[in-house]
Amino acid sequence: NAGVTQTPKFRVLKTGQSMTLLCAQDMNHEYMYWYRQDPGMGLRLIHYSVGEGTTAKGEVPDGYNVSRLKKQNFLLGLESAAPSQTSVYFCASSGPVRDTEAFFGQGTRLTVV
Amino acid sequence: QKEVEQDPGPLSVPEGAIVSLNCTYSNSAFQYFMWYRQYSRKGPELLMYTYSSGNKEDGRFTAQVDKSSKYISLFIRDSQPSDSATYLCAFNDYKLSFGAGTTVTVRA
């Protein structure tokens, strides 16, 4: 049972490049989340989804887009990367109702130079 | 005002000490209160969960919630070096919101 898997684990981008982070969960969870974690800032919610085909903005959505075409996958896109997007990105999933435990992936370390 | 404020730390305590971690929140819609533990270079993992005011114990860990004051706490008794981690409070209404985290180091 893999749980929540994030791809890739590490990436270095040049300013202006684009990329997509993939999150996959095998627990049939309804809720999925993308967070970024920066020193002293904790986990800040970028976007989230309450079910297949739905997405919503979180606390820091600017510069990111997401898609949830399949229930098990939640994609985070950076269309034009900026150095301010250097961070550790975590995906999480929970369900079937919102008060259940959230499981996290191992994180993606992204550096934008 | 941020929805969730967590005492920033860091905390460094000797082995066997009691660790006290605190968070305040402003959103009255929060109904579920959690503490996550995050080891270095890992994703967070759920440590404690409650939805009512009062205390909940699990081994050496006690979670305390005061809804009237919008205040939650986590106490770690007889702390061990293996408890060294970052602890994040979390709240759930229709999304999962986290505090900034407090890094705890337990010295052997």
List, for residues B46-62, the tens digit of each pLDDT value: 999 888 888 999 999 99
End-to-end CA distance of chain A: 36
Share of chain A above pLDDT 70, in %: 96
User: How high is the pLDDT of residue A99?
Assistant: 65
Task: State the Cα torsion A10-A43-A74-A24 to the nearest 10°.
Answer: 60
Radius of gyration of chain A (CA): 13
Contact B95 A40 (CB under 8 A): no
Is B58 an 8 Å CB contact of chain A?
Answer: no
- Residue B73 pLDDT greater than 70, yes or no: yes
Contact A105 B51 (CB under 8 A): no
Share of chain B above pLDDT 90, in %: 69
Find the CB nearest B98 among A43, A105, A107.
A43
Q: Which of A23, A31, A34 is nearest to A63 (CA)?
A: A34
- Residue B81 pLDDT greater than 70, yes or no: yes
Find the CB nearest B88 among A43, A48, A58.
A43
CA A63/CA A68 separation, integer angstroms: 17
Q: What angle do CA A36, B49, B92 make, to 5 degrees?
A: 50
Contact A43 B101 (CB under 8 A): yes
Q: What confidence tens digit (pLDDT) does each residue in A5-16 have?
A: 999 999 999 999
pLDDT band, very low/low/confident/very high, at A38 (cuts 50, 70, 90):
very high
Q: What confidence tens digit (pLDDT) does each residue in A50-80 have?
A: 999 999 999 999 999 999 999 999 999 999 9
Residue in chain A lying closest to B46 (CA): A101
Amino acid at A83: P
Question: Of A45-59, A95-109, B54-68, which gets the smallest average pLDDT?
Answer: A95-109
CA B15/CA A100 separation, integer angstroms: 32
- Residue B1 pLDDT greater than 80, yes or no: no
Contact A104 B99 (CB under 8 A): no
- Hey, what are A67's tokens? 């898609």
